[in-house]
Structure 1
Amino acid sequence: MVKFAELLPIWGLFIVGAQAKGYYTITSPGSVRPNSKFSVHVSVFDIWENSRISLTLQGPQYEKFIEVVVPPNSVQNTTFELGDITNGVYTLMAQGLSGIFFENSTNLEFVENLPMIYLQTDKALYRSSDTIYFRIICLDQYLLPAKVNQSLSVVLKDSQNIIIERFDNIALNTGVYKGEYKLTGNIVPDEWSVQVFLGQKMLAKKFVEVKDYELPPFEMDLDAPSYVTFREAQFVASVRFRNEAMNSLTSGRCILTIISKTNEIINRRIHHLNNCKKGIPVNLNKLERVMQNIMVNVTVQFKAHGTHTVSKFVRFVPNLYIINMPSMSYECHEPNEVFVYRAHIYNYNGNPIDGGDEIRVTLNPGTNGMPETFFSHVNDEGCLDVQIKCSNSKIIYVTINYKGTQSKPGKIELKHLNRKEGVHVNTQFPTIDNAIEVQLASRETFNSFVCVILGRGDIVYSNIIDVPNRAWRQTHTFSITPTYEMMPEAHMFVYFFKNGNMVYYETTFSVKSEFQNTIFLDTPETIKPGIILSLNVFTEPNSYVGLLGMEENAFNLQSENNLNARQIFRDLSNVQSKTTGVIAGLVTMTNANHDLVKIYTPVIKERAPIRKQTTQRNYFETFAFNDYVRYIIVF
């Protein structure tokens, strides 16, 4: 829908002013935040000399003035660096001093800029006499160390909600605080909590389990696949027994029992356990094919250490791999247009498949052509992208075969339409630093336009885009390279002027979430007990490196104590500029006309609720919980 802009409530676009020779446009976020950037976009059109424009940001105990010089028919950007501003009404005032003369202003909303706080503990289950190690990571919307101007405190509470320990007046020079608490013998077992407060407001909470018990003098493990298929001839159940008190390897008797879902003993065999380990093959052709799951039970008998038992469930499934083939529809606007169909392949246990494996893909256009078969690979996330070209077909079916597992057909419905007016991001899966294709289509002709992008509550891109040879067109395709600030979601605002009217369009696009910093570890694959481990860490200069070393089974079985990248990216999505707007919070002042009359109410996203964490009923040791600001770590 075409839209014209004197009071523009869309995006909180408040526009006041009389028609003048030439056009000015001043765009900014609709809200201000303490300790953040506030960027302002200024543009002039049909002005043939330099324009001096003053910008003043004013609020309680705050006033700053910036003057910008805008060349003819161009844009300029400037940024206010906001410190620890206080709550109240803020006003952005603009005045044309030369080139174009005007006065205009708009009110801005103050938004409390709470830091994103994350808690990490060294493990999830503790016993009496253990030490609880924890880290507090405090980030801003740029994922940099947040500037905290209030008192930060950490409270440790037991299961009866009694405060056991407080850590007050915490200083965060690096955005990270590390603390510890030694548990005493007289503890209340059950679920404890670690809470982080900024002033009187709780911003983070994590649960840990405290259980008063003694570690057994032995360790016994059973390694068997969680999922099997009858297409396999057998699987292997491996048992390992270790006792710290043993001075030499010990042998014993191992009894393997296969138990059905109805507790019926299907198979029972006795083996000798030599050197405290045994791999026992289980033949599937001797089991009933109608079974859904079985329990593998292993009992180990030692003369000196008694009898010990461990069990594990094994589930029979039709396939060891899951292939998700979504159905989709796609609007084709050009005959040779290419789009991406994305399938997802992973192991039944949820782990990704090997990216080096070949995958057979078949495209079937039905009666409109012959099937096409080719081989491809998944990316690191287990996604397989198939390039599809728009054709005369109305429906295309996609099937995938991976290691004998055949997918159900994925249905693609092609709709051959003329491009609707608006701004459209054609690239389906934008990523940082890779150009995306964008198309502007309008019922009005244009030879240039302005594109403004808002990311994480601030303007991160603005530019004039010219049509080649300044030709007048109704459609134009251009490219933009997403930056880190546009992740995970950005809002695009495109406008141009025609016959005294501002014609504008808007859209939202997502950018694949990834961290700007990278880290690589270099360490030996195996080490002997008692030796010093040298660990090489490769990352960006001046990086703060936090190290958590855990027993492998503890890390695989229980990760609630650790940091969650998805939660961090979800919190970034909540960083929005709050104004009256349809998509994103921009306020715009201009002297152009408009026809918009409806005022929209903003939808304010709240911080995701803190989930109560669950813990495994197992004990695992932590061997490292250290912080460094260097490249080589030795411990």
Structure 2
Amino acid sequence: MKSDQEVGRQVWSHPIWGPMPRSVNNHPTHTDREGLYRSPRLTDPCGHNMVVLELRDHGVIVSGKLSKGIPHPKIGPTAPNVPEMRIERFYTVVAPKILRPNTEYHVAVTTQGASQPTRVTVNVGGKQDAGGMFRTSDTVTVEPYTTHIVKLEIGDVGPGSYSLTAEGTGGVDFDNSTDLEYVHKSYSVFIQTDKAIYKPGHKVQFRVLVLTTHLKPAVTGALGVFIMDGKGNRVKQWSRALTMKGVFSGEVQLSESPVLGDWNITVQVVDQTFHKSFQVAEYVLPKFEVNVDIPAHATFKDSQLVATIRAKYTYGKPVKGEATVTAYPTIFSGVLQPIFQTPVRKVIKIDGKATVEFDIVKELQLTDEFERVVQFDVAVEEALTGRRQNTTAQVIVHKYKYKMELIKTSEHFKPGLKYTAFVKLSYYDGAPVRDDKNLVTVRYGYSYDHDNFLEQKHKLDKDGMVELVFYPPADNNQTTLGIEAEYLEMKEWFSQVAAAMSPSNTFIQAMVKTDKPTVNQDVEIEVNSTVPLKYLSYQVIGRGDVLVANTVPVSNSHTHKFRFLATYAMAPTAHILVTFLKDDGEVVADALDIQMEGVLQNFVDIEVNPMEARPGSDVDIVVKAKPNSYVGILGIDQSVLLLKSGNDITEEDVIEELHSYDAGDRNTHMFERRRKRSFFFWPGSATAKEVFDKSGAVILTNGLVHEYEPFLFYRSNVEEDSIQLEFEQESAIAVASSSDSEVKVRRHFPETWLWELEDAGYEAHKCNYEAHVASFVM
């Protein structure tokens, strides 16, 4: 016979007698000074498990029964026999679920229903893996219906098991704790080299930027920096490297016979390690570059695939010679001997530019049964020297010239509140479809029966989108929203939108009203509720930390607006948590993710005069930035970048680094539209528990945080995995073959022109450098 815990997690049970558990029905209990806890397990004549609970502590009474087959209030969408609660005083504690060393850890504490202030002690502590205990705490006084942020200084702690504990006395008495996740990363380190590939005898120059989570120079003391060759031998090291304004610059001279392969620069900041690799190899610089201009997407109706081949020297002159163009459809197969199709090869003359055409049906033998990928391999041979340079390009052939997709503002709709989605029509290059004549037919319904769907017709806006606004009934029976759309001959059935869940069918929804949320400007949030609100609490989480928290009174209204000032710490993505507690203790919550404009606090402009200069002449470079900026300048031969890149620090690298501190979920549609206009996204939380989980937060409360844990069955598709692996292998082979060249090396000319660090001071800084024969990129 199965135990209570094995019966679908549907039976709510506790030991018959014993000490008070930490939580009952997911409601953390109070410190029981005079209370009584009883949990006898009973069985009625029909064999149903029954639980009778009684908990008395400062007026708190919880009692009731739960039968087998009735979903647990923590799990099921509805629970007719959920024990009724009568609690007059509540508390909520919201904090980041990630703990990092050498950072500040902020906790938001809120109390409700108390007649006097509550003295709250918040501490973070635990046992370190290396031995020893860690503990830091602070005590604050929280007035009723207010929120207070507690700041804790987390020192240089190592990996271990840590927890957050909150204790309250006075207005609300409680003692609650939860485990935290430790992540051993609290610094952002960027490593830049002057090149990505070096020859024997070259000098390797590199810079290390050590920054805080706010991209400011970190004060960490001495760094440990060392370089290892391709065989793991330590070639050079700096035991106590010191930074200048967060920057350490070093170099190493390669011998004439070094170990070839991938070398590694390792930086140790406190006890955190960061790496950057570069390549040492025998190579020749390409004299010219070859590019293939071909649309990334085409349709079978185009009949012809037209490719334009361009070849020019690094100094801009056209290349004369012969171009060999090979086209063939790629075929992915999971079998040992893949299907092979003979490539179509054409040889043409080129004088800087040439055009070649391939017939989709006659030459490539493609039909419109399914989407195909056609690869172009191009090799250009210079007429005078016979040197060759090659490149590759791909084009995807589709049945239709446009695609239709559904952009959800949330993965779940909330009964009784507005739900918005967008049907997006765009060409495969991302350009929107603009059509004033043909309408988009949309059918939808709150069931799986497509025959009973309602139909609407919409015009496309200038962005190729149709805004769909739904008002789902406030009914427990509405569990899904089905949407399908049709445009001309294309018809799409989109995935179902599931309903959010609440034991009482009560929901709130947050929406951003500011057009383009920008750093250092106010952001307005509107909150709608299915029930009248008396108060509202919100927290703003950025880069994995609670930055703003507040509780605002509401005059018994279904709608309320509030504002907060956006800061750099909230960029690139801010998670807005909005909550309120019902009189019966249910936590009603929603979350909103906002993409912030103005991620970087500084700017840099470069002016070069003249743009073209004779060897040995002077070149003036003007660098503009904020006063007292520390500017790194790199000028590199364009031919080196054609051979190998990846040595520099890009804006995308910085943005991705900032995202690494965010423990919340990321949405692809929101980041896809980041540069076009401001966009927001609801994380798509089915329950109140998911609201906090998907925002990277934990919550402690004596209220009910609804949670749903369905049973899932998952089977890995081995065939798809093998196809993906083969695709990656074929791609790797294609990239490797495209880098082969037979050009002669240039001698006695530097590949790195500039490698300087300059202090901007209070005015624009002007530098003067001598020009060399080459095209340089700065």
TM-score (norm 1): 0.69
Question: Which residue of 2 is the match for residue 510 of structure 1?
Answer: 593
Aligned equivalents of 1:119, 1:129: Cα separation in 2: 22
Q: Offset at 1:192?
A: 1.6
Residue 122 of structure 1, aligned match among 194, 207, 212? 194
Aligned equivalents of 1:134, 1:215: Cα separation in 2: 21
Q: Does 1:535 align with 2:591?
A: no
CA contact (8 A) 1:430 1:510 kept: no
The one-letter code of the counterpart of 1:634 is C
Aligned equivalents of 2:324, 2:494: Cα separation in 1: 49
CA deviation vs aligned residue, 1:257-290 (integer Å, no higher than 9, x gap): 5556657764544x7xxxxxx3444363899853
Q: Does 1:309 align with 2:392?
A: no
Question: Which residue of 2 is the match for residue 397 of structure 1?
Answer: 485
Matches within 5 A, 1:454-603: 454-467=541-554, 469-471=555-557, 476=559, 478=561, 484-486=568-570, 487-488=572-573, 490=575, 492=577, 494-496=579-581, 498=583, 501-512=584-595, 515-523=599-607, 527-529=611-613, 530-538=617-625, 543-551=629-637, 555=641, 558-563=644-649, 564-565=653-654, 567-574=656-663, 584-586=696-698, 588=700
The one-letter code of the counterpart of 2:89 is Y
Q: 1:144 to 1:324 in 2, by over 3 A?
A: farther
Percentage of matched positions with identical amino acids: 14
The one-letter code of the counterpart of 1:152 is L
Query: Which secondary structure state, in structure 1, belongs to the residue aligned with residue 660 of structure 2?
Result: helix
Residue 91 of structure 2, aligned match among 18, 22, 25? 25
Q: Does 1:39 align with 2:139?
A: no
Q: Offset at 1:119?
A: 2.8
Aligned equivalents of 2:90, 2:456: Cα separation in 1: 57
The one-letter code of the counterpart of 2:485 is Y
Q: Offset at 1:127?
A: 0.7
CA deviation vs aligned residue, 1:455-491 (integer Å, no higher than 9, x gap): 4443223222433x335xxx54656666654554637
Aligned equivalents of 2:543, 2:307: Cα separation in 1: 51
Q: 1:125 to 1:85 in 2, by over 3 A?
A: closer
Q: Does 1:365 align with 2:441?
A: yes
Query: Which secondary structure state, in structure 1, belongs to the residue aligned with residue 240 of structure 2?
Result: coil
CA deviation vs aligned residue, 1:383-439 (integer Å, no higher than 9, x gap): x6543344999755365xxxxxx9955556897989953444456999744545444
CA contact (8 A) 1:513 1:569 kept: no
Question: Which residue of 2 is the match for residue 132 of structure 1?
Answer: 204
CA deviation vs aligned residue, 1:191-232 (integer Å, no higher than 9, x gap): 22222334666x32232210134557xx23334425586678
Question: Which residue of 2 is the match for residue 609 of structure 1?
Answer: none
Question: Which residue of 2 is the match for residue 610 of structure 1?
Answer: none
Unaligned runs of 5+ in 1: 1-5, 272-277, 378-383, 400-405, 600-612
Q: Offset at 1:175?
A: 3.5
Query: Which secondary structure state, in structure 2, belongs to the residue aligned with residue 572 of structure 1?
Result: coil
Residue 382 of structure 2, aligned match among 268, 291, 300? 300
Q: 1:240 to 1:394 in 2, by over 3 A?
A: closer
CA deviation vs aligned residue, 1:162-204 (integer Å, no higher than 9, x gap): 1111122233464433322221212112222222334666x32
Q: 1:550 to 1:598 in 2, by over 3 A?
A: same
Aligned equivalents of 1:552, 1:319: Cα separation in 2: 36
Q: 1:293 to 1:582 in 2, by over 3 A?
A: closer
Aligned equivalents of 1:280, 1:63: Cα separation in 2: 68
Aligned equivalents of 1:11, 1:485: Cα separation in 2: 33
Residue 468 of structure 2, aligned match among 370, 373, 388? 388
CA contact (8 A) 2:288 2:311 kept: yes
Query: Which secondary structure state, in structure 1, belongs to the residue aligned with residue 387 of structure 2?
Result: strand
Query: Which secondary structure state, in structure 2, belongs to the residue aligned with residue 568 of structure 1?
Result: helix
Q: Offset at 1:622?
A: 3.6
Unaligned runs of 5+ in 2: 1-20, 33-56, 60-86, 126-132, 329-341, 365-373, 444-453, 473-480, 666-688, 710-731, 769-778
Aligned equivalents of 1:372, 1:598: Cα separation in 2: 36
Aligned equivalents of 2:344, 2:514: Cα separation in 1: 51
Q: 1:10 to 1:439 in 2, by over 3 A?
A: farther
Q: 1:395 to 1:91 in 2, by over 3 A?
A: closer
Question: Which residue of 1 is the match for residue 44 of structure 2?
Answer: none
Question: Which residue of 1 is the match for residue 289 of structure 2?
Answer: 221
Matches within 5 A, 1:81-160: 81-84=153-156, 94=167, 96=169, 100=171, 102=173, 104=175, 106=177, 111=182, 113-114=184-185, 115-148=187-220, 152-160=223-231
Query: Which secondary structure state, in structure 1, belongs to the residue aligned with residue 657 of structure 2?
Result: helix
**Aligned-residue CA RMSD in angstroms?**
5.3
Q: 1:300 to 1:36 in 2, by over 3 A?
A: closer
Aligned equivalents of 1:187, 1:8: Cα separation in 2: 64
Question: Which residue of 1 is the match for residue 405 of structure 2?
Answer: 326
CA contact (8 A) 1:8 1:594 kept: no
Query: Which secondary structure state, in structure 1, belongs to the residue aligned with residue 201 of structure 2?
Result: coil
CA contact (8 A) 2:415 2:500 kept: yes
Query: Which secondary structure state, in structure 2, belongs to the residue aligned with residue 448 of structure 1?
Result: strand
CA contact (8 A) 1:326 1:411 kept: no
Aligned equivalents of 2:697, 2:383: Cα separation in 1: 69
Greater RCO between the two (CA within 8 Å, min separation 6)? 1
Which one is further off, 59-68 or 35-44? Answer: 59-68
Q: Give the length in aligned residue pairs.
A: 563
Q: Offset at 1:506?
A: 4.2
Q: Offset at 1:446?
A: 4.5
CA deviation vs aligned residue, 1:524-547 (integer Å, no higher than 9, x gap): 597013442423334x55554444
The one-letter code of the counterpart of 2:535 is S
The one-letter code of the counterpart of 1:387 is E
Q: 1:221 to 1:427 in 2, by over 3 A?
A: same
CA contact (8 A) 2:29 2:174 kept: no
Matches within 5 A, 1:412-491: 420-425=505-510, 432-433=517-518, 434-441=523-530, 446-467=533-554, 469-471=555-557, 476=559, 478=561, 484-486=568-570, 487-488=572-573, 490=575
CA contact (8 A) 1:127 1:213 kept: yes
The one-letter code of the counterpart of 1:239 is A
CA contact (8 A) 1:363 1:372 kept: yes
Query: Which secondary structure state, in structure 2, belongs to the residue aligned with residue 169 of structure 1?
Result: strand
Q: Does 1:163 align with 2:234?
A: yes
Aligned equivalents of 1:9, 1:625: Cα separation in 2: 64
Aligned equivalents of 1:130, 1:212: Cα separation in 2: 11
Q: 1:235 to 1:390 in 2, by over 3 A?
A: same
Aligned equivalents of 1:57, 1:243: Cα separation in 2: 64
CA contact (8 A) 1:364 1:396 kept: no
CA contact (8 A) 1:62 1:85 kept: no
Question: Which residue of 1 is the match for residue 357 of structure 2?
Answer: 284
Aligned equivalents of 1:294, 1:161: Cα separation in 2: 39
Query: Which secondary structure state, in structure 2, belongs to the residue aligned with residue 221 of structure 1?
Result: strand
CA deviation vs aligned residue, 1:123-170 (integer Å, no higher than 9, x gap): 221112222222333344444444536x63222111111111112223
Q: Offset at 1:15?
A: 5.0
The one-letter code of the counterpart of 2:383 is Q
